[in-house]
Structure 1
Amino acid sequence: MRGLAIIVLMLAGAVAMLAGPQWLDPLSLSPLQRDILLELRLPRVLFAALIGAMLGLSGSVYQLTLKNPLADSFTTGAASSSALGAVLAIALGVPGYWVSVCAFATGMAGLVLVYRMSQHRGRINPVTMILAGVVMNIIASAVISFAKYYFEDSLNAIVYWLMGGIFLVSWDRLALCAGLLALTYLFLSRRAVALNLLALDEASAQSLGVNVQRLRASAFVLSTLLVAVAVSFSGIIGFVGLIVPHVARSLFGSDMNNNLFYSAVMGSGLLVVSDAVSRVVIPGGAELPVGIITAVVGGGFFFYLLHTRRGSLWNG
């Protein structure tokens, strides 16, 4: 089944490389079309695949470690705190590359603040962490609204960035995302059994030798790092981290060894397809922000799952 999922993802990526304002025929490529395919669309499709996998994987870990089916990068404050830095950088006219640096810096600062607020006597309270994340989201949204109101000249750029998109693609960013995703997935997959025990019962996990606090803290930090990097490069792309883990859990069960893999693969596929649709849905070469596509597709599919699998959506 995993091999089939990889094949489907590769086929989706191949089709996405050919899609755009000008559809490419792989059997008769001109030199210009070959350059477009290899230098523009190939890195963009790879970037979309990596960003989607990072968001899907982080959502799976959030929902497990916090034991909340609504936990994702928004409810934990990771996405909003990252967006805050990017919006302020855009409003102040910071050059494009440094927008990502500012987003990453504020995302990690938000992580530290939420993490410290959720600690009590050396232990992390998942409920307090969710509440701290929601408060962080509210504060960041308020500052972002102020920036949109006060810096009118930058309003269009801010709004477009907040909608999310696969832009500013480069091979060094691809390498950074690929390395971070690989290391995080390897770390989490090797601890899949401990994560399964953590999902069932903390006391039992502790009695079986699992350091619950250390495992939860490390998983949360790595997930937030994935979100901060993804948001700093692509803006806010909603619904991937929320919907994909639910779909993976509903279709393939609650075993974290499977859920981690399918959350990453399905998140990757969802964003690759959504990015391809965003390039062709508006005639004339205009591009729709991919965050709109993921919200529409993810929301509709989530309603379908609620209707057909409402009894097994969380427990598998």
Structure 2
Amino acid sequence: MRYLWLLFVIIAIASSLFFGSVKLDILSGDNFDIITNLRLPRAVFSFLIGAMLGLSGSVYQLVLRNPLADSFTTGAASSSALGAVFAIAAGFSPVYVPPFAFLTGILGLWLVYKLSGGAKGAVTMILCGVIVNIVASSIMGFIKFYFDESLSSVVFWLMGGFSYIDYYELAIVFLVLTAAFMYLNGRAAVLDMLVFDDSTARTGGVNIRKERAGAFVTATILVSVAVSYSGLIGFVGLIVPHIARSIFRPDMKTNLYYSMIFGGLLLLGADTFARSAISSGAELPVGIVTAVIGGIFFFYILVKRRAEMWHD
């Protein structure tokens, strides 16, 4: 079953190469170069970024036992974006944007961890993440005001999207995603215990602080790398784990895998639509597309499960 999904991913990536604001003839030599040097790395890159966001969202939700936990409600996305926005606004070379995003993302995670009392309570970590999110958003607002000459580039980056992607960046993202998935997949049986209450996990011999911290750091690394290259793209890490749990088994190993696959497919589809919707050659920010999809999804959930939400 999993291999069939991988085959479907390959087919989806190959199909996306033929969509864009300009129709290309693959038999033409010039167009073949455009496909191999521009569209192919971008399609694979968008899938990998979506896989990162989906995987991190699965970790946040299952470890914190909260269906609303994702990179935004835990403060990981906004704190990562803070460093990237500062680097862009201050005029640093693009090569310094990922390190800045990573450092502030880890700093935001450390702050959430400390404010919540060292992972003593999942709900407290969510509340602290919301606080960090608000503070980081306020500082980014000040940066946009202070560095007025960089406002347009910062605003466009904050809306999320992909421009020119080279194979070096593709390799970095692939290696980070592979390492994170291997670590989380190897700890899946232990992390499954965190889905229960803390006392049950302790009875099972789980070191809650260590396992939760390890999962959180790994998920935040995924978010920091994704945000540093693509900007803020919301709802992927929030929607995808719900879909994976509703279709497949809710255990950690299964949810990690399919959250990664569905996250990649969702962002691949959103990016394909974003660069194909406007025939003039302009592109929609991918973050806008995912926001619309996320809004429709949660409106559907609200209508279909209203009684459960209010009378559980």
Instruction: Return the TM-score normalized by structure 2.
Output: 0.93
**May I ask how many residue pairs the two structures share in their alignment?**
309
Q: Does 1:182 align with 2:182?
A: no
Distance 1:131 1:299 in 2: 22
Residue 240 of structure 1 contacts residue 294 of structure 1 at CA under 8 Å; is this kept in 2? yes
2:63 pairs, out of 47, 65, 78, with 65
Kindly provide the amino acid, as one letter, of the partner of residue 250 in structure 2.
S
Which residue does the alignment assign to 1:303? 299
Q: Where do 5+ consecutive residues of structure 2 fail to align?
A: none
Which residue does the alignment assign to 2:16? 16
Distance 1:99 1:195 in 2: 32
Distance 2:232 2:303 in 1: 28
Which residue does the alignment assign to 2:6? 6
Q: Which moved more, 1:30-39 or 1:97-106?
A: 97-106
Kindly provide the amino acid, as one letter, of the partner of residue 72 in structure 1.
D
1:132 pairs, out of 122, 128, 131, with 128
Map residues 162-311 of structure 1 onto 2, 5 A cutoff. Answer: 162-308=158-304
Q: Where do 5+ consecutive residues of structure 1 fail to align?
A: none
Q: Secondary structure at the match of 1:119?
A: coil
**Stretches of 4+ aligned residues off by more than 3 angstroms:** 305-313
- The offset of 1:152, in angstroms, is 2.1
Map residues 44-59 of structure 1 onto 2, 5 A cutoff. Answer: 44-59=42-57
Q: Secondary structure at the match of 2:168?
A: helix
Kindly provide the amino acid, as one letter, of the partner of residue 165 in structure 2.
V
- The offset of 1:286, in angstroms, is 0.2
Instruction: Return closer, same or farther for 1:18/1:95 CA change in 2, 3 Å cut-off.
Output: same
Instruction: Return closer, same or farther for 1:3/1:136 CA change in 2, 3 Å cut-off.
Output: same
User: What is the Cα-based RMSD across aligned positions, in Å?
Assistant: 1.9
Identical counterparts, % of pairs: 53
- The offset of 1:146, in angstroms, is 1.4
Q: C-alpha offsets along residues 19-70 of structure 1, whole Å, 9 cap, x if unaligned?
A: 11222344xx211111001011111111111100000000000011111111
Q: Secondary structure at the match of 1:127?
A: helix
Which residue does the alignment assign to 2:33? 35
Which residue does the alignment assign to 2:109? 111
Q: Secondary structure at the match of 1:72?
A: coil
Instruction: Return closer, same or farther for 1:170/1:124 CA change in 2, 3 Å cut-off.
Output: farther
- The offset of 1:193, in angstroms, is 2.1
Q: Secondary structure at the match of 1:124?
A: coil
